[in-house]
Every structure is written in C-alpha cells, then in structure tokens.
Chain A
Amino acid sequence: MRFNPPKPKPAGGHPGLIRVLLDVGPSVVYLLPLGFLLLFFFYPLAEILRLSLAPQGRLDLSPFAALWRDPYYVRLLAFTTGQAALSTFLTLLVGMPAAYAFAHYEFRARSLLQALTTIPFVLPTMVVAAAFQALVGPGGYLNEWLVALLGLDAPPIRLQHTLALVLIAHVFYNASIVVRMVGGFWSHLNPRLEEAARVLGADRRRTFRLVTLPLLTPAIVAAALLIFLFCFTSFGVILVLGGPRWATLEVEIYYQAVSLFNLPLAAALSLVQMGFTFVVMALYTRLQARSAVPLDLRPAAATRRRPATWGSKLLLWGGVGGLLLLLLAPLAALVLRSFTLGGGWTLRYYRALFTNPTQSFFYVPPAVAIGNSLLIAGGAVLLSLLIGLAAAYLLTGPPGPLRRWADPLFMLPLGTSAVTLGLGYIVALDRPPLDLRASPWLLPLAHTLIAFPFVVRSLLPALRGMNPHWREAARILGASPARLLAEIDLPIIGPALVVGAVFAFTVSIGEFGATLLLARPNLPTMPVVIYRLLGAQGVLNQGQGLAMSTLLMLVCIVSFVLIERFRVGEF
C-alpha cells in the first residue's frame, strides 16, 4: 500500500534563546519551590531563632531561662502535651469501631457515609467553634431542649470553656483520620492471614491480638502521631472553646506576641514547640513509610461482607451511627441556629452581614470580609499551583539525594504551627527588600506555605501513575515538547490539578492562626470576623457569627465534594 507521509522536518531545533530557556527551564522550575521555602519559610524561622536566642545581637538565653524557671511554662508544656495525648486516645477510642465497620461491612450508602465522616476535617476551626457553641453553648440547642423538657431553671450543660469541650472538639476534628488511615489500611489487609492463623489453631481473640493488631499497629501509630500533632498545635479550638482558663503553647505564643509584645519570649516558645513537632513529624514519616508497604494487600471490596450477627449489626450501627451523630449534630445545630431568633425563623443575621449596623466594630460591613477572603484565596491558589506543580515534578523526576530530602522538606510547613508562621512573618518581613507588611501578597504567601503541600500530595499519585512510556511513545510519534505538555501531561494530571486547586482554596479560606496575627484590622478575612463576632456580646453579633460560619461551612462542603469527585489515589 502506498502512504506518503509528509517529509520529517529538517533538524534545526529552536532558535538560540529558546533553546537556552528550554535547557535552563527545568532547573529553574526545580529551584522555584526550594527558593520559595527558603525565603518564606526558613528565613522567617531563622529570624525567630535569632530573636529568641540573640535579640540584642549577642547570644542571650534569658528567655529560655525564664521558661525553664517559671513553673507556669512547665505546666503549660505539660498541659499542651497532656491534652493532646488525651485527645488522641479518645479519638482512637471513638474512631476504631467505626473504622472497623467501614472496613469490613458492606451496607447501603457506605461510601457516602464514609465521605461524610471526613467533612469535619476540612472545616475551619472557627466554624467548628461556632457549631459547638450552637449545640452545647449556654444558649445552644441541647440546653434549650433540656430546659424545656425537664423544666429546669438554668441550662444544665455547662461545657463552655471547659477541657471536656476542647476534647470533644478534637475528637470531632480528627476522628476521620482514624477512619481513613486505620480503616483504609484494615480493609486492604489480606484476610487469608487471619484465616491461616485460625486454621493453625488460634481462636478469634488470639488471632486479633497476635495477627491483626501487629499488622495494624503501624497504621494506628501513624494515625495517632498525626492526631497528636494536630491537637498539640491546636489553636482556634482552644482559643474559643477553651476560653481564658486553658492555654496551650500556641495560645501563649499568640498572647505574648500580640497582647504583651514580648517577641523574644514568643520566639523562644515557638522554638520549643518546633522542637516537639519536629520529633513527632520525624517519627510519623518513618512510620508512614513502613505502613505503606503493601503486605500482600487485597482490594477492599474483596474483604467486605454484609453484617450477619446481632453483634456485628450493633457494632455497625453503634460505631458508625454514633460517630456520625457526633459529627453532624453540631453542624446541623449551626445551620439551624443561624436562622432562628427568639422562637422563630429569620434572615436577620444574614442581612446584617451585608449592612453596617452601628454595633459592628468595623466600619465596613462584615461581608467585605467575604470578598477579602476570596481574593486572598485566589492569590493563594495561584501561587500554590505554581509552586506545587514545580515541587511535584521535582519529586517525580530522576532520583537522587535532592529528591529524597525534598519530600519531607516540602511537608515541613504543615508541621509548623500557624501562629509561629505568622510570628515569623511579622519579625522577618519587615524591612526591604522583603517589606511585605503592607503588601496584599502577605496573606496569600502565608497561606501558600500551608496549602502547596496539599497540591503536591494531590499531584504525586497522578504523576507517579504516569507511565514514562506514554511520553516516549508520544515523542516518537512526533510530539514536540509543547505538544507533549498539552496532549499527555495536562489531560492526565488535569483532575489532580483541580483537586489541588480546590484544596488550596479551602485551606486558605479557613486559615485562622497565621491570619489572626497578620491580617490588618480593616481588611479581615472570614474566620477572623467570625472570631470577633462570636466573642462579642449581643444576640445580633452572635447570630452574625453563626451566619457567616454557615456560609463558610457551605463553601467548604462544596469544595470537599469537588475534591472527592476528582481526586486520584489516596493521600
């Protein structure tokens, strides 16, 4: 047969400058995330270091001496660690039955319910605080019902500003980690292992103790470490739900920096906290690698079956049902409360957001904060995608020492507390050429720091799933580098990019710790406004706080749905 293909174009390549750019380009792309981290993460942290160890220019360990000698700070550290450990324990307790149920039982709407358990994780701390206030606060639903039901004089549930409320909120936040990580791992364990043990003579209890639990331990410990980390650096929850009585390291750093202007002491506290979190993070990454080793894992669907016995049904309904009740009741209370005034329904709170009643202590309507949040989030998404894409390509490029260090390096900002980051920006970015105090890019940069690791984690499975032969086949079939990008790279990682963008958006919109430190008073974001409204007196202020929280919650839920719809692989 005759087929005359067009003559292949003569070898000429690109003109000089473009060729230079193409050669240099990849290196620049690789340097982008590293440069970003250097300037906007390590430099601020170094400034904190300098401030805490040598505020006058020479080594001065007096802030540390103060920390060491004052029993207040020792108690502070003890409390921070203790509440984190207790929260972790409680979360595991509440989450394990549900994890087991999701992993082993097949029931109606299983995937939907499992997805629902993850919603709290993406909610901003302010929303969670508002939701709990609406449920168990002095004016909350539970108290109202109990007063009406039992004819009491005073609200019986007095959880406001108690440790118990903080612990419950922590469980609320982190239960999904147990369900996802432990449950996910559990559902992939090869059931033959347990069957082999039973055939060899071990009864159910011994099988669980000697076979299942040891296999599960890496996942459990990894989940526990992650939860511990989140509870250790918990800020918003402690601030609002714990109140003035309970303070953790984070909260203390905030007070020292913002109320007392004792920056050296705040810096010293940050250093102590960073030391702790670094150790925990190092343990976590070690264990994650081990628990990620496929132990002859099976697809989850093969190990699930319908619950048969009464015991298993009880476990299912109790474990899953109980968890869902804990997770959804506060959110439902939040939404409902934002529409009620006195005994009836109203839209007053929502309307008040967009007007400027004289009670508001900003001279702009709170709704301005919505626009602000969106702008900042937009900037953060742009920057995160840019840096995250570069970082992801760096991590999937040719192996080498750089790649091995880059992975935990890019995750470091996630392990650093938000307040510390905010503090770092205050002390570091205050003189040229990096005087960004008044720049509109200050907050997007801070948010990008916490958001781009999520972009990286969204892109990695997609990039790693990319067979290098696809690119090679396309090149051989005549695709130039530009067409490679358009025809192969982009379509294949497109969904992962969407997921990364939505993640970055959600993180930015809900960020509280760093934003509280850095936002200018007349240009707040939604979480900051919610915080101020919830802390102010008056039904109208409280109501507006709830209304804005509901809006924020809706945005996050929509984002969450989009993420679930498009993502590739597990994080």
Chain B
Amino acid sequence: MALLEVINVSKAFGGEPVLQAVSFGVAAGEIVCLLGPSGCGKTTTLRIIAGLEEADEGRVLFAGRSLADVPVHRRGFGLMFQDYALFPHKDVAGNVAFGLRMQGLSRAQVAARVAEMLDLVGLRGYERRRVYDLSGGEQQRVALARSLAPGPRLLMLDEPLGSLDRALREELLGELRRILNEVGVTAIYVTHDQQEAFALADRVILMRRGRIVQEGTPQAVYGRPASAWVARFLGLTNLVPARVIALNPVRLETPFGPVALPGERAVAVGREVTLLLRPEAAHLPAGLPRADEIALEATVRRCSFRGSRYRLTVAPPSGPELTFELPAVGAPPPAPGETVTLALYPTALSLLPPFGEPNTGPDQVRR
C-alpha cells in the first residue's frame, strides 16, 4: 500500500491550469522523482502535498488518511527549498534545531540530535557559523540537515542541486543518495535534470504541462520512452518515422533503407511506427559490421569533442540527420565530409508509437 497517495489533483492559478488530474503513489522508503521542464507543475505538486497550496480538485492521502484538514505545521513532512531558505537570524545549529524545538524536545535532546545531523551531512564543528558565510554546498547540507532533523515521515526536495556548479553537483548527488538511503526516509525529489533523476530515484515520474506522461524505473523510462516528447526531453533525438513491412524477424522500411530488428515485437504489418536510435547505439567498427549489427553508411556533418566522448552528427543518403555519441578512444574521430560506416547495436533501437499518438500497447521484446 502506498504511503502517500495523490489522487486526481488539479490546480489552476488565475484561470491557467497548472495541474490536471495528477495521480500517483509513493511507497514507504521509496525515492520518487518528479521530472519535467519548468512550468510542468512539479513544484506546485510538492507545495500541495506540503500544504502550502490547496488543490482545486482531488485529494492527498497519507497512510490512508486525508490531509485536507491538517495544517502545514502539523503534517510532519520535510521540505528542502531550492534557495535553501536558511533562517538568516540564526546560526547553523539554530537552523538545524528549529524543527526539534517546535516538537518540544529538551535542550539536551535537541543538542544531541543537531550534532548527529551535522555529522551525517559532514559539517561537524559548524554549529556557531552564520549562514551567510557558508558556501553553496555548505548551505545545501545545512538545509538538508534541517529538513531531516525532525525525522519527517516524508521528505520533499525542490531542485536542491539547481544552483551549484557541475563538479559540486556530482559530488553532492552521491552524498545525497547515500544520506537518503542511510536514513531510509521516503522522499519526493523534483528536478528538470534527468541525470539527477536517474542517479537518485527508485522511480521516475515524467510531467509535462500539468500531466503525468510516463512513470517507471529510470531504466524502463529511458529504454522505452512513452512518446516522442519524452524521448526528446531525455535527450533521445534520433526519432525516425518507419513502417513495419514484415514480422519474424521484424523488418522496417526507413528513410535510409530497410532495417531488421531481432526478437519479436507486438506490432502489426503495415503499422506506422517511430524508430528510436539511442545516442549510444553507434560505434565505428575496425572492419566490417557483425552480422547481428545494423550497418549504416552516412556522411559526417559535424564532430564535436566532449571530453570522454564525441558527438557525431551524420547524414545518411536519405532521411534525417542522426546524432550519436562515440567513446573518444582508439582511432581519431572522423572529420566532416568523410563517409563512414557505423555499426548499430540493435538492442539500442526501440519502437515507439508514431508522432502524436498515445502509447496504446506494450512494446516488449521476447527472446
């Protein structure tokens, strides 16, 4: 049974619908991520769960009981703000202790718990520091400690890594995962960054314009995006229209020629589909492509160095341009204008519904 249930929640601000019939559940101990572009309603969802906003329609249940009449300060949840919102007139210890003092714990209990939390986030000795003297990463840790200290039944995090630079973000991402698992708290994490979502979440919920468009584990969502929009949002840009011309094995007619996919797919002959080629699908074989790989001959348009990988944009003789990411090892990358033969891993290709159609049937591979 889910610990938190959001049922059919809708909300509009000044006539503009921000959430439309959103429903999902969070199990105890689970880390769920609301992922989507800005304006998709993910922060509003958090605020409704926290009680800072009221839903126009729908209900929120916690442990089976409705939260409708429970004021914000009695819900026992935690919320980490994007701008941290640390109290400027209290020092680090004062901030972390705040929730504990609201619970009426004794001085000694508060002090002990504060010390424990600061240890957990790696800020031992910072008790008396003023918050405006802290760096971004330190502030984030204090904010985390403050939210966790009262032992919330549900912790919500609103883009907590948004304002940090990349290296710091990577480091804190790992720490966050460790801390959340160690404490075992149920968490809802909101972000627009798919890397954060995939690294942290047990389950990802994709939102777009106030609606949920896909739910599932990170691997499932990335492996089988439910629509062209989801695919593009996740950075999967190689979407090619195709038509099924045979089954067993599945043969597709694509703009750049026929393509054969191994395994069985639940599609009918003649069906229009979208072929998704993931960025990691291509590699440059030393010799000829293997029998079970798909060969693609194309002209190189652009090649851009990205550190550990390079992005290669190629144009097949007919059909749209495709962009792949190849590891920057071995032979030097090809130059623009060259003709190359790429080998594609068939497991990195997926069939999606055609553009604009909802996902009606499963897309399974039976081996």
Residues of A whose CB lies within 8 Å of any CB of B are: 1, 3-6, 8-9, 11, 13, 467, 469-470, 472-480, 483, 487-488, 491-492
Contacts and interface: CB of A to CB of B under 8 A. Distances in A.
A491 B52 CA distance: 23
B126 interface: no
A488 B72 CA distance: 16
A463 to B, nearest CB: 14
B88 interface: yes
Contact of B73 (A5, A480, A491): A480
Given A472-B52, A474-B98, A480-B73, A5 B151 contact: yes
Nearest to B75: A8
Nearest to A473: B85
B122 to A, nearest CB: 15
Nearest to B65: A11
Contact of A477 (B69, B70, B146): B146
Given A467-B85, A469-B85, A477-B99, A5 B69 contact: no
B85 A11 contact: no
28 contacts: A3-B151, A5-B76, A5-B103, A5-B151, A5-B152, A6-B103, A8-B75, A9-B74, A11-B74, A13-B69, A467-B83, A469-B83, A469-B85, A470-B85, A470-B88, A472-B50, A472-B52, A472-B85, A473-B79, A474-B98, A476-B52, A476-B77, A476-B78, A477-B73, A477-B78, A477-B150, A479-B73, A479-B98
Interface residues of B, number: 34
A299 to B, nearest CB: 16
Contacts of B69: 11, 13
Given A5-B150, A476-B75, 18 more contacts: A1-B183, A6-B104, A6-B105, A8-B75, A9-B74, A469-B85, A470-B85, A472-B52, A472-B81, A474-B98, A476-B73, A476-B77, A476-B79, A477-B102, A478-B99, A480-B73, A492-B88, A492-B89
Nearest to A492: B89
A82 to B, nearest CB: 51
A400 to B, nearest CB: 12
B356 interface: no
A524 to B, nearest CB: 43
A308 B79 CA distance: 55
Contacts, number: 81
B113 interface: yes
A1 B81 CA distance: 24
Contacts of A480: 73
A476 B71 CA distance: 9
A3 B113 contact: yes
Question: Which among A6, A478, A488 has the highest number of chain B CB atoms within 10 Å?
Answer: A478
Contacts of B147: 477
B102 A483 contact: yes
Nearest to A5: B151
Contacts of A470: 85, 87-88
Interface in B31-83: 50, 52, 69-79, 81, 83
Residue of A1, A6, A467, A476 most packed against chain B (CB within 10 A): A476
Contacts of B99: 477-478
A491 B89 contact: yes
B334 to A, nearest CB: 46
A483 B101 CA distance: 11
Contacts of A473: 79, 81, 85, 87, 146
Given A3-B151, A8-B74, A477 B98 contact: yes
